Every structure is written in structure tokens, then in C-alpha cells.
């Protein structure tokens, strides 16, 4: 029996897809057999092998006992990025919110 089947019931509660250039992020809320919720974060990146497209995937499982610590760490890191962007050496390190990324691979064909 696969983890995704759980005796005929679907364990996926919510899914959000975020496309960002060559990467796609999946935020999937799932439930265990005991109805505990957890989050999977998946990064999928399109690559080419021998001229054929393939996808590299990286996945993180985040369990309920870690939600608060993970959120705190993410908020701290994002706050630091905002702080650093104010320094001259980092002001152009990240795109502004009105920046639009064009992927020329997507324009072909």
C-alpha cells in the first residue's frame, strides 16, 4: 500500500503550486492515518539530459511539532534579507517586487 493511498482515502488536504522561472514549488498539506497534519515542500527544476527534458526534485517534510520553529526561522531569515537589501552592497542582489523574469527557453517552439 502506498503512502498516498491510505486504504482508499486521499491524504492530500491542500495543495498550492508556485511557478518561479525554471523552478516550480509545491506546498502540499497532507494528513496521516491519525489525522495529524504535515507539510511537504517540493522544488522541481526542469533540466535537460541528452536533449530530453527531465525534472530534478527536492522534497522537505515538515511535521506539526516543527511548524512554529520553522516559521520563526523563515521569518528571521526573510527579515535579515530585508535588512541587508538596505545596504549598498546588497541593494541590487535581489530583484524588486515589480521585476519580471523572462525564460527564453519557454519562448521557443
In angstroms, the CA 60 to CA 39 distance is: 8
CATH number of 12-107: 3.10.450.700
Model confidence at 104: pLDDT above 50 = no
* Burial class (CB within 10 angstroms; exposed 0-12, middle 13-18, buried 19+) of 29: middle
Question: How much is the pTM?
Answer: 0.67
Q: What is the mean pLDDT of the chain?
A: 82
Q: pLDDT (tens digit, 9 = 90+) per residue, 28-77?
A: 999 999 999 999 999 999 888 888 988 999 999 999 999 999 999 999 99
Domain spans in the chain, listed from the N-terminal domain onward: 12-107
Beta strands 52-63; 37-49: pairing state = antiparallel
Model confidence at 100: pLDDT above 70 = no
Model confidence at 2: pLDDT above 90 = no
Amino acid at each position: 500500500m502506498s503512502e498516498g493511498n491510505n486504504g482508499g482515502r486521499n491524504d492530500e488536504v491542500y495543495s498550492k503550486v508556485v511557478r518561479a522561472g525554471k523552478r516550480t514549488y509545491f506546498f502540499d498539506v497532507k494528513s496521516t492515518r491519525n489525522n495529524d497534519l504535515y507539510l511537504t515542500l517540493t522544488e522541481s527544476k526542469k533540466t535537460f539530459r541528452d536533449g530530453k527534458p527531465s525534472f530534478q526534485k527536492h522534497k522537505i517534510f515538515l511535521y506539526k511539532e516543527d511548524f512554529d520553529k520553522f516559521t520563526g526561522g523563515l521569518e528571521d531569515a526573510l527579515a535579515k534579507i530585508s535588512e541587508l537589501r538596505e545596504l549598498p552592497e546588497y541593494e541590487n542582489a535581489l530583484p524588486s517586487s515589480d521585476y519580471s523574469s523572462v525564460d527564453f527557453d519557454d519562448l521557443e517552439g
